[in-house]
Amino acid sequence: MNPQSILHFWFTELTPKDHCAKDAALDEAIRTRFGATLEAAARCELFALRTTPEGRLAEILVLRPACYLQARTEKSSKMWKR
């Protein structure tokens, strides 16, 4: 995985408003485009990215939507259990 593609997507293709948007289409686009990278990151397989500051940031950014989506899903499921 090239960290530049993640950084370009996050900082050039998205707007700051997109970074925190609750948008199912955007969530799906991220999963489609970076799903394999996200899975590799979740398995701690992206050590090569950690050799540069850009690579570390790319790994954080690719993990961030997953954490956000998981937290949002958990929050929703807890609300329904009440």
Residues of the chain with pLDDT under 50: 76-77, 79-80, 82
Domain-embedded: residue 47: yes
Residue 68 in any domain: the answer is yes
The per-residue pLDDT for 74 is: 54
Residue 77's pLDDT is 46
Distances (CA, A) of 81 to 57, 61, 63, 73: 36, 31, 27, 13
In a domain, 34, yes or no: yes
Provide the domain limits for residue 69. 23-75
In a domain, 57, yes or no: yes
Give pLDDT, residue 21.
77
**pTM of the prediction?**
0.71
Interatomic CA distance for residues 81 and 11, integer angstroms? 37
| pLDDT computed for residue 67 by the predictor | 56
